Amino acid sequence: MNTNVNAAVDSSTDTRTDANIEWLFARQRFGVHVGLARIRALLSVLGDPQRHFDTVLVGGTNGKGSTCATLSAMLQAEGRRVGLFTSPHLTHFAERFVVNGQPLPADEVARALATVRPHAEVLGATFFEIVVALGVLLFAQHGVELAVMEVGLGGRLDATNVLEPVLSIITNVALDHTEVLGESVEAIAQEKAGILRAGKLAVTAAEAEVLPVLQATGAQLTVLPPVQLTSLGFDGWQVTLPTGSGPLRFCTPLLGEHGAYNAALAALAAVQLGVSTPAIQRGAAHTSWPGRLEKLTWLGHPDRQPRTVLLDGAHNPAGAAAVALALRSLGLQSLGSASLPVVFGAAADKDIAGVAQALRSVAGEVILTRALLSPRAADPVDLAPYFEGVPVRLSSSPAEALGLLPAGLALACGSLYLVGELRPLLLGQAAPQAERWQ
């Protein structure tokens, strides 16, 4: 049992022409148009496949994916047939659709998309609405008992919110996507709270300042209690979670305190869903969540010396601050330095100043680059002023940026699209080909 979205993915539709996949990715350029009417209509013409399984919705600003992956692994360890829907993908599109720890084959995803496409065209569905409908259809076809669905943007008007959850999770609330969700954490919390249902189970690790907004929904909301964390270094954490029946102890390989808290939140949700303690422990221990403080060894440097790279998709100030804290807790000085080289790239519409401020505290030097497949990526030249006071080098590509890394430990972070291009380079795998907007 292993919930690992890096498990063998049939990437054939990423490397050869598939008309339906190409059509879907082209729809990224039309942007995000919030609302539930189109996704409701699309699922209706597909026979409402969401009625064939239960759903857990997982929203929040940061930590959604690792919380989803951990909860999915715990449910799977209990013997349930589980679907896991996450977004965006790192490298291959089929990573978004996982059943019992295995991404569905890319050719199967493409065939299901052929069923969805004609209805989506008639309804004018957006890229993400189509992806949600595709995931729901695939999970119904595979007979999942419960689908753990990562919410995309916000919550109230996100396409995933057309599903009726048996339990909802809000990881946290911080500033991100302010142009759509609002300029304050309270306004953003109002949007996130849209995935909660009156009288239904819900759990959260959100700060006290936004709890009144979440509680006003009438959901049976449980707030993550204080947990005890014991660092296992690069092996993760031992977590002790207070529950009504006594302390629940388990280990998670997720790095950073934020990773441990996400695992604790998933465990709290699992308890609410009736998952046994042994299954929670087994699932937590076997969780894998690539691209989020993932430690990889790269053997492809021109000097033939290995490099250890921590990959993380920290693309907003809260995420970057969590990564900086994690690096300090891992003990950079014990690794030979109080700082380390950082490969960084970001989307131009992000709060780059806030992210850079957090990263400067751990960066000995910064190698600025961009995701080649993302038109939203900021030019490295435009990123340089945000790192005043830190030595900066510019790189025209992710591959070139890796070649500039000195020996030792390094961090590569920022846009998930950049992480998605760096990861196959580090692993010696085929690179993605499709343009990335969402």
Whether 10 is in a domain gets the answer yes
- For residues 204 and 70, membership in a common domain is answered with yes
Domain final residue pick, 230, 262, 287: 287
* pLDDT of the residue at 101: 95
Write the pLDDT tens digit of every residue in 336-367: 456 799 999 999 988 999 999 999 989 999 99
Asked if residue 310 and residue 269 are part of one domain, the reply reads no
**391 pLDDT more than 80:** yes
**AA letter at 410:** A
Of 255, 287, 319, which closes a domain?
Answer: 287
What pTM was estimated for this model as a whole?
A: 0.90
pLDDT of residue 262 exceeding 70: yes
Q: What is the mean pLDDT of residues 174-187?
A: 64
The pLDDT assigned to 177 comes to: 54
**Is 128 domain-assigned?**
yes
Q: Between 316 and 438, whose confidence is greater? A: 316
Q: Is the dihedral of CA 167, 53, 67, 282 positive or negative?
A: positive
177 Rama sector, left if φ>0, alpha if ψ -120 to 50, beta otherwise: left
Closest CA to 241 of 213, 272, 218: 272
Mean residue pLDDT across the chain: 90
Q: Are residues 352 and 222 in the same domain?
A: no
Confidence of residue 319 (pLDDT cuts 50, 70, 90): confident
Q: Spell out a b/e string for 377-392, using b for 16 or more CB atoms within 10 Å of the CB, else e.
A: bbebeebbebbeebeb
Could you give the angle at which helices 277-285 and 64-77 cross, rounded to 10 degrees?
130
Please compute the mean of the pLDDT values over residues 299-322 and round it to a whole number.
90
Rounded percentage of the chain residues whose pLDDT exceeds 70: 92
Could you give phi then psi for residue 265, rounded to 5 degrees?
-65, -40
Three-state DSSP class for residue 428: coil
pLDDT, residue 176, reads 57
How many structural domains does the chain have? 2
| Cβ proximity of 296 and 405 under 8 Å | no
Does residue 36 sit in the same domain as residue 179?
A: yes
Q: Is residue 433 part of a domain?
A: no
Q: Is residue 432 part of a domain?
A: no
HSE of 139, CA atoms in CB hemisphere, 13 A? 33
* Structural domain includes residue 356: yes
- Two tokens at 90? 């790192």
Helix (H, G, I), strand (E, B) or coil at 55: strand
Q: Is 203 in contact with 268 (CB distance < 8 Å)? A: yes
Q: Is the pLDDT of residue 11 over 50?
A: no
Q: What is the CATH number of the domain that holds 366?
A: 3.90.190.20
pLDDT tens-digit map of 21-58: 999 998 887 767 778 999 999 999 999 999 999 999 99
pLDDT value of residue 332: 58
Instruction: Assess whether 231 and 312 both reside in one domain.
Output: no
**Boundaries of domain holding 260:** 3-287
Edge-to-edge order in the sheet of strand 246-252 = 228-231, 237-243, 246-252
Indicate the length of the chain as a whole number: 438
Q: What is the pLDDT of residue 273?
A: 98
- Phi/psi of residue 291, nearest 5 degrees: 80, 5
Q: Does residue 236 share a domain with residue 359?
A: no
Same domain, yes or no, for 315 and 412?
yes
Task: Identify the residue whose tokens are 């291009």.
Answer: 421
pLDDT for residue 349: 87
Task: Indicate if the pLDDT at residue 13 is higher than 90.
Answer: no
d(CA 160, CA 59): 10
* CA geometry: angle 296, 268, 64, nearest 5 deg: 45
Confidence band for 102, pLDDT divided at 50, 70 and 90: very high
What average pLDDT does this structure show over 175-204?
81
Q: Check pLDDT > 80 for residue 203.
A: yes
DSSP H or E segment with residue 353:
helix 352-360
Q: Is residue 384 part of a domain?
A: yes
Give me the residue label for tokens 């021109």.
Answer: 302
Do 106 and 228 fall within a single domain?
A: yes
Predicted confidence band of residue 4 (pLDDT cuts 50, 70, 90): very low
Q: What is the pLDDT of residue 8?
A: 35
Q: Tell whether 275 and 300 lie within a shared domain.
A: no
Tell me: do 343 and 248 sit in the same domain. Answer: no
Q: Note whether 12 and 111 are within 8 A (CB).
A: no
Whether the per-residue pLDDT at 226 is higher than 60: the answer is yes
Q: Would you say residue 17 has pLDDT above 60?
A: no
Does residue 438 belong to any structural domain of this protein? no
Nearest Cα residue to 129 out of 39, 252, 59, 22: 39
Are 90 and 420 a contacting pair, CB within 8 Å? yes
Give the start-end residues of each E strand in 133-218.
146-150, 167-170, 201-204
Asked whether residue 218 falls in the same domain as residue 256, the answer is yes
Within-domain flag for 435? no
CATH of the domain at 130: 3.40.1190.10
pLDDT at 182: 54
Among 244, 272, 287, the domain-final residue is 287
Q: What is the pLDDT of residue 2?
A: 45
Can you give the pLDDT at residue 330? 77
- Answer yes or no: do 341 and 198 share one domain: no
Average pLDDT of the residues in 394-410: 94
pLDDT for position 370:
96
Residue 368, class by beta-carbon neighbours within 10 Å (0-12 exposed, 13-18 middle, 19+ buried)?
A: buried
Measure Cα distances from 188 to 55, 68, 172, 193 in Å.
23, 21, 10, 9
- DSSP string of 17-52, one letter each residue: --HHHHHHHHGGGG-----SHHHHHHHHHTT-GGGG
List Cα–Cα distances, 382 to 125, 320, 394, in angstroms: 34, 19, 10
Helix (H/G/I), strand (E/B), else coil: 201: strand
